[in-house]
Amino acid sequence: MLRAYLAAHGPATLADFGQWLFRGASTRLLKGWLAAVRDELTEVTVDGAPAYARTADLDQLRETRPSGAVRLLPAFDQYVLAANRSLIPAEHRGKVSRTAGWISPVVLLGGRVAGVWTVTGTGEISVDPFEPIPPRALAAEVARVQSGRTDHP
């Protein structure tokens, strides 16, 4: 399971994996799983912190360039559930992970959670940004979602 998680969401820490899988699992259990696949992983540094990546993914990760794309993700999206908590501003985590386990629809900006969104009673998308979001990029993404298109520019 750790292999599959890192393939989809790596690099990540063991704590990220535990939070995604169990919402905080036994460190002993996680360390055992890590030991079982350790020879397939490489420790990397992400924003100054150690994390793990599948060794097979390193070349692709090195070639990947940062994106400033704006995306609207639905409630309970796996990207948000598996996200390194540093991608969600601490002061806004309560707006993303709400009472009774509700995970809000979010606005991504360059892979970071930059706001939440809702659909109003009139069917319009309303955004509550946590930081400035480029208006043209946000408008284009809102139009894409409202049209039902699944393609990304």
Question: Domain limits at 54?
Answer: 2-63
The reply to whether 21 and 75 lie within a common domain is no
Compute the distance between CA of residue 135 and CA of residue 103 in angstroms, rounded to an integer.
24
**Per the domain annotation, does 58 fall within a domain?**
yes
CB 8 within 8 Å of CB 53: no
Point out the domain boundary residue: 39, 63, 87.
63
- pLDDT tens-digit map of 140-150: 999 999 888 77
- Give the closest residue to 81 by CA, choosing from 98, 99, 103, 100: 103
Global confidence as pTM: 0.73
**Residue 37: both structure tokens together:** 């696949």
- pLDDT tens-digit map of 26-66: 778 888 889 999 999 999 998 888 999 999 999 999 998 88
What's the pLDDT at 38? 95
**Per the domain annotation, does 152 fall within a domain?**
no
pLDDT at 25 over 80: no
Taking residue 95's Cβ as centre, other Cβ atoms within 10 Å add up to 16
- pLDDT tens-digit map of 73-107: 999 988 887 766 678 888 998 899 888 888 899 99
